[in-house]
Amino acid sequence: MSVAPTPPRVPRSYRALLAAVALLVVLAAAPRAASAFGVGSELARLDGVALTVFTYRPLGCAEPSLLFVFHGNGRTAERYRDHALPLAESACFLVFAPLFDKERFSNAHYHRGGLVDGGEVRPRPAWTTELVDDLVTWARTREGRPDAPFYLFGHSAGGQFLSRVAAFALPADAERIVVANPSSYIVPSLEEAAPYGFGGVFTDEAVAEAQLRAYLALPLTVYIGDDDTGDEDLLDNEPARRQGRHRRERGEQVYAAAAALAQAQGWPFGWNKVYATGVGHSARGMLAAEEALTAFGFEIVEAAR
C-alpha cells in the first residue's frame, strides 16, 4: 500500500540526452555562477557552516524544480552532480550537490546523520540532518522562489544520510525523497537504538510514536538496484546486519516492515519501492536507469512516433 503524488508527465526517451549532456560538461572549461546555464559551484553558508555546492542549470527550463543530490562515501559531490545531468535535462531539475568533506563530517556525522556520538544522542542543533532544511532555504532564496518544489536524492552513504534526514528532519514538503542503495536505514522501530531506529532519541513515548508515524507518511522512495547484492564497503555491524544480508535485502526488509506497521496501525503510508533493473551499487546507474523517473514520482509516457 502506498500513496503516490499526482505525477507530471515526461518523455521516456531521456537517455538519448546523455551525449548532449556530456558535451555540456566538456565545454564547461571553468565553474560558472549557479545563475548561468550549465555546470557551476558556489559556497553555501548555512547557520555558521559553509558547504561547497556543485550545481547544474538546464537550458530551456524557466522554473526548474530543485534537486538535491547527496554523495556517497567517496565524497565525490561534483561527480554526483554530473551523474544527475541527464535526469535534470529530462525532468527540468536545477541540481545542487553539496560536499560533506571528511575533515569536518566523519561517517558518524554524515552517513548516520550526526545523531549519536560515543553512544550518546547529541543535542538536536548538532545533528547534521538539520542542515538540509537550511540548504533548501538557501537554494530557494538564491532563486528568488521561496516555494520552489524540491526533491532529495541520496545514494549509498548519501542514502544513509537521507534516511536519517527523513526520519528526524521530516521534510514533508519535499515532492519526493529518494533513498538509494544505503548500507543502513532508520528502521520503523521505537526499540532499535539510534542511529538505526528511534530508540533513545525522544524521552516522551507519545512524541516518539508521532515522529515514527510522520516518517511513514513521507513521500519516500526506497530505490533499489536489483543487482546490489555485494559486500564491498557494506556496513557490517549488528544493527545493520539485522536489516538484511546486503543492500537489496535491507531495502526490501525495511520497506516491508514500514508497510506492515502502517497497515497494522492504520497510519498513512507514503512510501514507494522501485527497482532499477540490472543495476548494482552505482549512483550513475541508478540515476541513468529508466526507473529513475518512476522513483522520483514521474509518470513515464511513450514519445509520439
Out of 11-20, 227-236, 272-281, which region has the weakest mean confidence (pLDDT)? Answer: 11-20
Torsion sign, CA atoms 188, 193, 196, 202: positive
Q: What are phi and psi of 94, to 5 degrees?
A: -90, 115
Q: What residue segments make up the domains of the chain, in order of their start?
A: 9-301
CA distances from 112 to 164, 168, 211, 219, 250 (A): 7, 11, 18, 21, 16
> How much is the average pLDDT of 230-255?
97
Number of other residues whose CB lies within 10 A of the CB of residue 187: 22
Amino acid at 260: A
HSE-up of 131 (CA within 13 Å, CB side)? 24
Query: Tell me, what's the pLDDT at 81?
Result: 98
Cell numbers 560533506 correspond to what residue? 100
Tens of pLDDT, residue by residue over 153-181, are: 999 999 999 999 999 999 999 999 999 99
Q: What angle do CA 78, 139, 182 make, to 5 degrees?
A: 50
> How much is the average pLDDT of 233-237?
97
Global pTM reads 0.88
Q: What angle do CA 292, 159, 286 make, to 5 degrees?
A: 25
Number of other residues whose CB lies within 10 A of the CB of residue 103: 6
Tens of pLDDT, residue by residue over 21-40, are: 444 443 343 343 445 689 99
Cβ-count burial of 142 within 10 angstroms (0-12 exposed, 13-18 middle, 19+ buried)?
A: middle
Structure confidence at residue 299 as a pLDDT band (50, 70, 90): confident
Give the CATH fold of the 9-301 domain. Answer: Rossmann fold (3.40.50)
Cell numbers 522562489 correspond to what residue? 145
Q: Residue 153 forms beta bridges with which residues? A: 69, 178
